[in-house]
Structures are given as structure tokens and as C-alpha cells.
Amino acid sequence: MSFEFFLENVSDPTGHMSAVDFYEISDLSPEELGQFASAWYLLSIERQREIATTLVELAEDNPELDFTAIYTLCLKGDDEPLLQIVMDGLWEHDDRSVISGLVEVLRSDKGSDVRSAAASALGRFPLLAQEGKLLVRDGELIHDNLMQVLEDEEEPMEVRRRCMEALAPFNTMEINQHITLAYESLDLDFRASSIFAMGRTGEVGWLPILLQELQNEEPTIRYETANACGELGEEDAVSHLILLLEDSDSEVQLASIGALGKIGGPLAKKVLTSLVKDGDANLEEAALTELQDLEFDEDPQGYLGDL
């Protein structure tokens, strides 16, 4: 199917398109995007949602597909379900072309779910800023807008906590103060977000708190803490994470395995190998995935052939 034929077919609400047909609208040029937009704005909102959902699902299965231009186009719309679909597809994207659109959604008067999703989608970029892979002005735009929302106590808690999570990689004193305040909160979700943010700061100084919270009675907190330990990558956490392999909550167990894989080292590798050989089915599969990633990082030419 050619690009022109795709545009004709997509305008037909009864038209059926296979997955491969959508490859025609991957990585659109500016000229093609203009043609696509002309057809897109004539579609019903239901048809737009249907197509956007398909694009997100296809891109998840095939990372080579790039629908960023279409996502950016959708960010200019007002339909919140469509915006939610698009931002689900953007959470791992690092194309700077989406930044201004995400900031506009964040600062809009739309619902808290959509604005929270925009904050989370922006959270990818502070990591790039810290690695020197983002323009300074882009980093400042993201930081300033996220911070303004975080500090506005009239904003919904859900939006504020997502802003805190997104800001964490900047790792400034001001941001760490907000993380501390959130950690001291009585709100469980806000405390969980503070722990998530601790891991994203990359600041080893949070480790004593995290090791303590691995024993928290709340599964949500143990889950977020295990992930945060993995983000920090400190081998001191390995012996504590091993204890969570016997946790009563399966999600906490899987988070612990993921953290062991991120941290690596001889002990973590030994434990993962043991799980592959003797663990239950769910833990075995997760451990194998982490172990393969470790082996690849150590020797990209190697093969995990003895498991």
C-alpha cells in the first residue's frame, strides 16, 4: 500500500488496514505530515483513537517504527482519551520535537490523568539532560515547568507527584527537599513516588532509607524500593534484595529480580543463575531475562548456552 492509498483508505471508516499498512506512515517527512494532517482532521474522534491505539501497539512491538510526527500532531488536540493514548506511546521517546506539546498539556486545564501522563512523558528528558544529550534550553524549559507545577499546592496531588518523579534526575538540592517532604507525607502514593524519585536521582545518599524501606509492610513501597535500588546500582543492596525473593507479593519478587539484574556483580549473578535452574516458572523466566542481559553487557559476542 502506497502512502497516498493509505490516506484514502484511512478516511474510509469501513476500510480495513493490516498492520503492515501502517508502516507507510512511519517516519513521515514534513510534506507527508501535512498531507496526513489534512486527512486526519476529517476523521471522527473514534477513528482517530482507533488509529492512535494501533500505532502505539505497533511501535511497542517494532522499535524501528517511528510515529513521533503523528504523536506530536495529536498533542495539539483537545480529546483527552486520544491524548492519553498518544502519551502512552511517548513515555520512552526522546525526540525533542514532542517537548513543547507535552509542556502545553502539562500546563493546560485538562484532567489530572492526562496532565500526569504528560509529566511522566517529560520524565525521559531530564535523564538526557544530565548526560549532556539535550539542548540546555530544552532542559530549562522542562525543569522550570515541572517545578512550577510541583510547587503549586493547589495542583492535584497526582500531577504534582508525577512532576517530582520526572524532575528527580536533575538531582538539585531543591528537588531533593521535595523528595524528602514527600517521603515524610502520610499519603501512601506520594511516599511511593518519593522512593521512585530517590532511585532516579542516582544519589547514593538515599540508599540507607531504601534499604530500610525494603522491609516496609506495604507491598507498594517494597516494590518501588526494589526498583529504586536497581536504579542506584549499588551492590550493597544485593543481599537485602535477595530476601525479597521470598516476598508474599509476586510483583515485589519480580521487582527484586529486575533490580538484581540492573545491579549485577558476582552475588547477583549467582542468585539469578540459581533461580533459572531451581526457581518457579515465573521467577525463572524473569531471572533468565536479567541474566541474559548481564551476559550481553559483559560479552556482547557471547551466548548464554550453558543454561
Query: pLDDT for 27-66, tens place per residue?
Result: 999 999 999 999 999 999 999 999 999 999 999 889 889 9
Query: Residue 5: which pLDDT band, with cuts at 50, 70 and 90?
Result: confident
pLDDT in tens, 223-261: 999 999 999 999 999 999 999 999 999 999 999 999 999
Residue 301 pLDDT exceeds 70: no
Q: What percent of the chain has pLDDT over 90?
A: 79
H, E, C per residue of 95-144: CHHHHHHHHHHHCCCCCHHHHHHHHHHHCHHHHHHHCCCCCHHHHHHHHH
Q: Residue 158 corresponds to which cell in the numbers above?
A: 497526582
pLDDT digits (tens, 9 = 90+) for 90-123: 877 788 989 999 999 999 999 999 999 999 999 9
Task: Give residues with Cβ within 8 angstroms of 63, minimum separation 6.
Answer: none
Find out whether 227 and 259 touch, Cβ atoms under 8 Å.
yes
Residue among 273, 202, 256 nearest 234 (CA): 202
- Domain ranges (residues) in the chain: 186-307
Q: Quick one: DSSP state of residue 265?
A: S
Domain 186-307 grouped into CATH 1.25.10.10 = yes
C-alpha cell recorded at residue 183: 517521603
**305 has a pLDDT exceeding 80:** no
pLDDT of residue 1 exceeding 80: no
**pLDDT score, position 73:** 93
17 confidence band (pLDDT: 50, 70, 90): confident
Average pLDDT over all residues of the chain: 91
Evaluate the CA torsion angle 222, 228, 229, 231 in order and state its sign: positive
> What pTM, to 2 d.p., does this model score?
0.88
Cα separation values, 261 from 206, 239, 246, 255, 278, Å: 20, 13, 17, 10, 17
Query: Residue 226: which of 195, 202, 204, 185 has the closest Cα?
Result: 195
